[in-house]
């Protein structure tokens, strides 16, 4: 299982309404409203999964949208990719802005906190 980071508040859980409002107000992030799909490289089969409420995508430098954030049980989770610590990483930028907007912090699976400043 991949290591994940989470946007969360220690005082009280985030609500889906707060999450959706924060996403709508931020450029470069949008709520996912289409099903996700991927192609099995071995068989060529297209595998589709319905997006749930609370899934958000980020806009990549290539102009493509990519699923990034998942709202689950009062927190938002996202993968700690190889470039996530870089201030130029689109997920890093979006997570920092979303955490600020929600009055939350970014916390790793092991409980460590990240102080990513919004530029």
> What is the arithmetic mean of pLDDT over 64-92?
95
pLDDT at 48: 61
Question: Alpha-carbon distance 72 to 61, whole Å?
Answer: 27
21-53 pLDDT tens trace: 999 999 999 999 865 566 778 888 877 655 567
Q: Compute how many other C-beta atoms are within 10 angstroms of the C-beta atom of residue 65.
A: 16
Give the start-to-end residue ranges of the domains of the chain.
Answer: 4-114
9-18 pLDDT tens trace: 999 999 999 9
User: What is the overall mean pLDDT for the chain?
Assistant: 90
Closest CA relative to residue 65, chosen from 117, 97, 27, 116: 27
- The dihedrals phi and psi of 86, each to the nearest 5 degrees, come to -80, 130
- Please, are residues 7 and 73 in contact by the beta-carbon 8 Å criterion? no
pLDDT-derived band at 58, boundaries 50, 70, 90: very high
């Amino acid at each position: 299982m991949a290591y994940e980071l989470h946007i969360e508040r220690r005082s009280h859980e985030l609500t889906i309404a707060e999450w959706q409002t924060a996403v709508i107000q931020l450029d470069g992030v949008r709520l996912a409203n289409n099903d996700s799909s991927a192609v099995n490289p071995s068989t060529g089969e297209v595998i589709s999964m319905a997006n749930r409420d609370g899934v958000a995508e980020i806009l990549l430098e290539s102009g493509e949208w990519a699923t990034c954030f998942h709202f689950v049980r009062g927190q938002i989770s996202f993968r700690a990719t190889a470039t996530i610590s870089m201030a130029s990483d689109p997920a890093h930028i979006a997570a920092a802005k979303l955490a600020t907007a929600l009055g939350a912090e970014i916390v790793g699976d092991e409980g460590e906190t990240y102080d990513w400043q919004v530029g």
